[in-house]
Amino acid sequence: MDFAESELHRDIRASVRAIAEKYGHAYYQRTAAEGSRSEELWNEVAEAGFVGVNLPEEYGGGGLGISELAIVGEELAAHGCPLLLLVVSPAICGTVISAYGTSEQKQRWLPDLCSGSAKMAFAITEPEAGSNSHQLATRASREGEEWVLNGTKHYISGVDESRDILVVARTGRTDSGRGRLSLFVVPTDAAGLSMHPIPMQVNAPEKQFTLTFEDVRLPADRLLGEEGEGLRQIFVGLNPERIMTAAHACGLARYALDKAARYAQERVVWGVPIGAHQGVAHPLAEASIHRDLAWLMTQRAAWLVDAGMDPRESGVAANSAKFAAADAAGEALDRAIQVHGGHGLSTEFGLADLWGFVRLHKTAPVSREMVLNHIAQQVLHLPRSY
């Protein structure tokens, strides 16, 4: 078992680092404060070939895997500028289209997702369904050669930046009453689709939206994959989503710890750097250990996905990585703020503005409680609790 990064991975990391260092957290802060988008950074990452690094070469992608996309996400986050739509557009949507799209659908959507010239949002969350996807209320009905969508989605990221949305909708019910779900690619300018921004305390350039579908008509070829198999199909994209979330969290933990360590070396009180005191050094060292452990699980989860292992096994690893990395990022940022004292809460030092974004990792894209339920059932074989 080789734990050394390959030359390819080191090259990807160095190239992304060079881009990220040109922008840094000040750029991220500014775009978030202005309500603008991080287009310049996205475009430069895309032009270097990294947005579609995990997607098939025949459509313009890098032909690599989620391991490589995770490096891109981690390195950007480690320099204070995580790109949320990397989690959504190439990791979820691109992966699912690659797996279940027809030749025509792949040719229609993948080249622009690979190049980064178009983004695709993802819509599954609903106000009333929570984590119970079987009870999604958004429905799609077949009328002749068209599908007609009606319903509401909640907390959908980056819709205003996206050309299309991968939507999970109910197309029927099983005998037990569970929803039969299907996947649809809906253009963001579709008649009958309205989007409403949700005011958030998360300081990020990407905005959150409520979407309302009122008799949105789609041609039949907007159905992705097999009708009624949407829930099974979407999990091909949800494991990469968890891994990318974990990679972002690991990167943000690095960012916070790097700033804290640098400040603890430079800040001198009573003649010595404050980092010489165990009361400062040990909390940071502990947070660093936890970050490294989360990073190792993230690497394992990505390897399992890229190796084509059973999705149940990779799902356990992906959820565990997301859980551990979310905790590690929160711990690292909290301790970095504490080391900085009052400076930790100032805009200038670039820590406190990330608190909402880092805290979000404990809740989304899957809550820590649902991760624990999953591990209890799949690993410990305990009775289902819900």
Is the model's pLDDT at 188 over the cut of 70? yes
How many Å apart are CA 314 and CA 193, to the nearest integer?
A: 35
Q: What integer is the mean pLDDT of 36-60?
A: 98
Confidence of residue 2 (pLDDT cuts 50, 70, 90): confident
Q: Which residues contact 185 (CB under 8 A, 6 or more apart)?
A: 97, 105, 109, 120, 164, 165, 166, 167, 222, 224
pLDDT of residue 1: 63
pLDDT in tens, 220-249: 999 999 999 999 999 999 999 999 999 999
What residues make up the domain containing 292? Answer: 231-378
Q: Are strands 268-269 and 223-224 parallel, antiparallel or unpaired?
A: unpaired
CATH of the domain at 90: 1.10.540.10
pLDDT in tens, 261-285: 999 999 999 999 999 999 999 999 9
pLDDT of residue 224: 98
pLDDT in tens, 322-340: 999 999 999 999 999 999 9
Q: Is residue 20 part of a domain?
A: yes
pTM: 0.97
CATH of the domain at 368: 1.20.140.10
Q: What integer is the mean pLDDT of 338-350?
A: 97
Whether residues 155 and 113 fall in one domain: no
- Percentage of the chain with pLDDT > 90? 93
pLDDT of residue 134: 76
Mean pLDDT for all residues in the chain: 96
Nearest Cα neighbor of 89 from 156, 30, 29, 31 is 156
Whether residues 285 and 241 fall in one domain: yes
How many Cβ atoms from other residues are within 10 Å of residue 328's Cβ? 29
pLDDT of residue 324: 98
Whether residues 217 and 239 fall in one domain: no
- Percentage of the chain with pLDDT > 70? 100
Whether residues 133 and 222 fall in one domain: yes
Q: Is residue 262 part of a domain?
A: yes
Q: Is residue 1 part of a domain?
A: no
Q: What integer is the mean pLDDT of 168-190?
A: 92
Q: What integer is the mean pLDDT of 48-64?
A: 98
CATH of the domain at 186: 2.40.110.10
pLDDT of residue 79: 98
Sign of the dihedral through C-alpha 71, 72, 74, 79: positive
Residue for token pair 């986050």: 77
Is the model's pLDDT at 177 over the cut of 90? no
Cα separations (Å) of 13 from 240, 256, 296?
Answer: 19, 18, 16
Is the model's pLDDT at 175 over the cut of 80? no
Whether residues 73 and 147 fall in one domain: no
Q: Which residues contact 134 (CB under 8 A, 6 or more apart)?
A: 178, 179, 181, 231
